[in-house]
């Protein structure tokens, strides 16, 4: 197994140089931090991940979480990382000082969680969901809930979950039927079933705090009648003693990947004794949940990007060490008397490695960009600027979640292929990454749902204002890149693609204007692929600009080869990935209607 899982130099380069973390740290909220202290934090996470996460990734796959006698049994390392992460501030990192947090920028949190994800993607979810559910309490819960639950969660003693999905509803939250009946004691009685609850139960958590979407008796149908509740596995009394709260662990789903990260089926109120406490106002649950969704979707993109990075590192190492075959001579023959060459010298292997590099580093850059928008939106004082970054964030979020998940899976599959037969065998880690990453295009809203969000909501949002803002950002990069002879032609290419995007969007919006929403959104997924491909062209051109700029300045932090490799990867992206948009534009502007259900049975 490869002994390295991350290119930490590239992470720091993207964080500090390309996305200029120091600009963000200048905001008042972050005034106690500086580059040095943040760097120390990141280094400590790397060291922690080397020691406590990476060594266990294979064994967590080989010994998956399982269900036994009403409990979920997970690997012992879940215990270690919950407790130690609590001590290190990895759970409370982004929280306010008031809530016991460190007021770290989201950018730094993303960078540190990326390291953990890359080291062992089966573990950080336990932290992530505890963070997300604690945030819901901090933002929307009353003082009492905050006092009882948040400190225990941020210390890692109690776990947290988000309980949305139900068996009969799947992604369609308007069909949630879990019931909440008010009592006269301030709590509600909760009853229902929730499935696919990540990190939903394990033997090491003193308690689990579930943030549950449910419908108060008599509430309106649809998404407007859903409320949010804190439903602990054990309810604490005034002295802090814990009593079982009628939350049952029904099962642990066995999965193809991320097998160390449990996915549970929970039952609430089988014995009519499950207490839940309303968070915020009644019927506002979905709104609250979705205010946390941006962070959750950045986290999914980040996890997928991290697996892609780890797979790239593993296959790169193999390609650098494995001799096989020979280079072609000018007559197209191979000379058997010549020694073998390393497979990294075969063009087809280089193509697969460069694809992995382009997707891994590009995706990382994208999630850092989203985190930067997040920080700016949260901390800037100027109202217009705040709005600007808020809109940019909203627009890119579906791509941040989807591109790393979809293209990451393809990149990892290329990583498997680099190893040939060994890539398919359990002795090597690639096959595990291939299985692990497949869930990411399903988590937190499938690719189909993200795509409808992008095309159906985000592009149209505020009369297309977000799209205009993003276009401006891209235009600025194009302008900057045009100043360098080496980058000029790529800048021009991206400009053409931007025009193509406008044409495609104009064509599609025509359907919405005619009221044909079904047709408007029917090709949302190919549109997602199209639009995120162009967005990634921008991301890479931006990296190339920074690298080119560093090359021509006197003071270089990294080697020339480092910067040249980034420019090379941008060129690779522009040659091998960006042209996909030609075919996608063709699909999107094709008038034929073939995927809308009609009278004809097409699936015989």
- Considering only residues 342 through 361, tell me which ones interact with its own copies, judged by CB under 8 A: 344-351, 353-354, 357
Shortest Å distance, C-beta 165 to its own copies: 7
* Piece of the chain touching its own copies by CB under 8 A; list 183-191, 369-377, 378-386, 520-528: 520-528
From its phi and psi, is residue 191 left (phi > 0), alpha (psi between -120 and 50) or beta?
beta
C-beta of 432: minimal distance to its own copies in Å? 8
Contacts to its own copies from residues 464-503, by CB under 8 A: none
What residues numbered 129-148 form the site for its own copies, per CB under 8 A? none
Q: Decide the pairing of beta strands 207-216 and 158-163.
A: parallel
**Quick one: DSSP state of residue 453?**
I
Q: Using DSSP, state whether 307 is helix, strand or coil.
A: helix
**For residues 144 and 426, which CB has a smaller minimum distance to its own copies in the complex?**
426
Residues 232 and 213: their CA atoms lie apart, in Å, by: 13
Return the number of the residue (295 or 358) whose C-beta is nearest its own copies.
358
Written as one string, the DSSP assignment of 6-58 is: --HHHHHIIIIIIS-HHHHHTSGGGTT--HHHHHHHHHHHHHHIIIIIGGGHH
- Contact flag: residue 340 with its own copies (CB under 8 A): yes
Q: Which 293-332 positions form the footprint of its own copies (CB under 8 A)? A: 316, 320, 322-332
Q: The dihedral of CA 461, 465, 467, 473: what is its sign? A: negative
Site pattern 541..580 for its own copies (x: CB under 8 A): ------------------x-xx-xx--xx-xx--xx--xx
Q: Name which of residues 9 to 48 contact its own copies (CB under 8 A).
A: 9-10
- The residues in 237-296 that bind its own copies, with binding defined as CB under 8 A, are 253-257, 263
Of 260, 262, 304, 263, the residue nearest 437 (C-alpha): 304
CB nearer to its own copies: give 555 or 604: 604
Nearer to its own copies, 161 or 245 (CB): 161
Q: Which CB atom, from 282 or from 344, has the smaller least distance to its own copies?
A: 344
> Distances from the Cα of 248 to the Cαs of 177, 195, 240, 262, in angstroms?
17, 12, 21, 15
SS3 182: strand
Q: Nearer Cβ to its own copies, position 156 or 526?
A: 526
Collect all residues with Cβ–Cβ distance below 8 Å to 367 and sequence separation of at least 6. 110, 114, 298, 301, 302, 305, 400, 404
State which of positions 174-213 bind its own copies (CB under 8 A): 174-175, 195-196
- Encoded tokens for 67: 């269900």
Residues 409 to 468 in contact with its own copies, rule: CB under 8 A = 409, 413, 416-417, 420-421, 423-427, 431-432, 434-435, 438-439, 441-442, 446-448, 451-452, 456
Q: CB–CB of 369/539 below 8 Å?
A: yes
> How many residues does the structure list for the chain?
604
Total residues contacting its own copies by CB under 8 A comes to 117
Cβ proximity to its own copies, 315 vs 477, nearer residue: 315
- Alpha-helix runs per DSSP H in 483-559: 485-513, 517-522, 524-552
- Which lies closer to its own copies via its Cβ, residue 135 or residue 444? 444
């Amino acid at each position: 197994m490869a002994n390295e899982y991350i290119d930490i130099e590239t992470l720091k380069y993207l964080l500090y140089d390309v996305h200029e973390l120091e600009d963000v740290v200048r905001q008042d909220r972050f005034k106690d931090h500086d580059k040095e202290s943040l760097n120390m934090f990141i280094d400590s996470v790397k060291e922690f991940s080397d020691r406590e996460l990476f060594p266990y990734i294979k064994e967590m796959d080989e010994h998956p979480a399982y269900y036994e006698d009403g409990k979920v049994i997970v690997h012992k390392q879940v215990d270690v990382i919950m407790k130690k992460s609590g001590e290190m501030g990895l759970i409370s990192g982004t929280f306010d000082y008031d809530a016991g947090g460190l007021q770290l920028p989201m950018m730094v949190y993303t960078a540190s969680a990326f390291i953990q994800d890359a080291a062992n993607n089966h573990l950080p979810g336990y932290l992530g969901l505890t963070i997300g559910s604690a945030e819901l309490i901090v933002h929307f819960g009353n003082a009492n809930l905050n006092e009882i639950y948040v400190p225990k969660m941020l210390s890692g003693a109690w776990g947290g979950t988000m309980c949305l999905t139900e068996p009969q509803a799947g992604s369609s939250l308007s069909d949630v039927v879990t019931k909440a009946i008010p009592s006269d004691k301030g709590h509600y009685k909760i009853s229902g079933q929730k499935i696919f609850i990540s990190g939903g139960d394990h033997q090491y958590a003193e308690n689990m705090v579930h943030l549950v979407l449910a419908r108060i008796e008599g509430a309106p149908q649809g998404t407007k009648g859903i409320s949010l509740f804190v439903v602990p596995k054990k309810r604490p009394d005034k002295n802090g003693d814990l009593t079982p709260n009628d939350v049952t662990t029904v099962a642990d789903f066995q999965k193809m990947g991320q097998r160390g990260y449990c996915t549970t089926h929970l039952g609430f109120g089988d014995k009519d004794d499950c207490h839940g406490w309303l968070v915020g106002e009644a019927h506002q649950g979905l709104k609250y949940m979705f205010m946390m969704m941006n962070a959750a979707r950045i986290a999914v993109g980040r996890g997928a990007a991290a697996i892609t990075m780890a797979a790239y590192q593993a296959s790169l190492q193999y390609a650098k060490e494995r001799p096989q075959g020979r280079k072609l001579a000018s007559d197209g023959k191979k000379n058997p008397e010549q020694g073998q060459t390393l497979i990294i010298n075969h063009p087809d292997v280089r193509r697969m490695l460069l694809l992995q590099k382009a997707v891994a580093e590009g995706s990382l850059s994208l999630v850092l960009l989203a985190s930067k928008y997040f920080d700016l939106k949260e901390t800037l004082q100027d109202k217009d600027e705040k709005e600007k970054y808020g809109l940019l964030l909203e627009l890119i979020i579906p791509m941040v979640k989807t591109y790393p998940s979809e293209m990451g899976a393809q990149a990892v599959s290329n990583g498997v292929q680099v190893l040939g037969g060994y890539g398919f065998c359990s002795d090597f880690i690639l096959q595990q990454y291939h299985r692990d990453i497949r869930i990411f295009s399903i988590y937190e809203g499938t690719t189909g749902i993200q795509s409808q969000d992008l095309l159906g909501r985000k592009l149209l949002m505020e009369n297309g204002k977000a799209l205009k803002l993003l276009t401006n950002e891209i235009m600025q990069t194009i302008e900057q890149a045009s100043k360098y002879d080496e980058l000029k032609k790529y800048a021009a290419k991206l400009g053409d693609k931007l025009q193509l995007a406008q044409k495609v969007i104009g064509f599609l919006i025509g359907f919405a204007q005619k009221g044909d929403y079904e047709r408007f959104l029917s090709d949302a997924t190919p549109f997602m692929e199209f639009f995120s491909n162009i967005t990634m062209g921008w991301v890479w051109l931006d990296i190339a600009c920074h690298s080119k700029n560093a090359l021509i300045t006197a003071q270089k932090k990294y080697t020339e080869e480092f910067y040249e490799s980034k420019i090379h990867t941008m060129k690779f992206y522009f040659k091998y990935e960006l042209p996909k948009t030609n075919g996608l534009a063709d699909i999107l502007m094709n008038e034929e209607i073939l995927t809308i259900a009609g009278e004809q049975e097409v699936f015989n």
